[in-house]
Structure 1
Amino acid sequence: MTTPAINTEKNAGDADKRIVLVVEDDPGILRQIAFNLELHGYTVETAITGLQALKQLMNRRPDLLITDVMMPEMDGNELVASVRADSELADLPIIMLTARSQDEDMVQGYQNGTDLYLTKPFNPAELVTFVKRILG
């Protein structure tokens, strides 16, 4: 007896192959985010540092950026500020997903131009819901 295939076409059609760049230096969290977004039909590109992400953004603009704050080379706040300062990227939607949960961290994220600030640990279903709301 064969196991029936799981039909993910409904979920996959929701995203229309929108591109999400995920910037996260923890490989486990990066895989978790990518898996959940891909499950819902998003194309996921990844970077492990803010500097690497900035280089990728200059070559190909995604539909959404999800970034951690605490990373080597260039942190998430610096990345967001750089994106907002670039006329070609300034309107790119940004979700900051970080373990930094103090009020002042959130305020700094929003002041730098983050559209949504989520803290870790996070609920993957909630993240996907926010991605869908942001990307329409």
Structure 2
Amino acid sequence: MKFGMRMAGTALATGGLAIGGALTSAAAPVPAGQSGQAAVAALATCNRTLNVVTPTRYAVLPAAADLECQMGIGSAGPEVTPLQVSLNRCHGAGLTVDSIYGPKTADAVRLVQSKAGIPADGIYGPQTRRVVYWLFSNGSCARVLGP
């Protein structure tokens, strides 16, 4: 699956507490009413990780130029690992952490999406990032919110 790009400024927060500075890039908004595959196709593919840091802890999240990125079945690499680890530790997914976004990772993402009341398509993107509880360095799990 080939994806286009959409990048936007991001301010990271968890529980209302700002935990990172603004990350800015050129904006190319997704048209209103666009969802599912069409909205995902407008996002950059996650191709690295980014540390989200607070004064007392940090979490590693998938990223592209910023946290506004997407992954789906067929994605592979170190950017998949923090999602699989967090799905296991914070959501009880029971995945094999193999850095491959396969059907079982998609099913675990779909379950988190469904429980959060967002479209359950099994594709990781900004809306899913906001509802996943991420494993932080101190062993706690928290959401990482943003725009």
> Structure 1-normalised TM-score?
0.28
**Greater Rg over alpha carbons, structure:** 1
**Structure with more helix by fraction:** 1
> Structure 2-normalised TM-score?
0.27
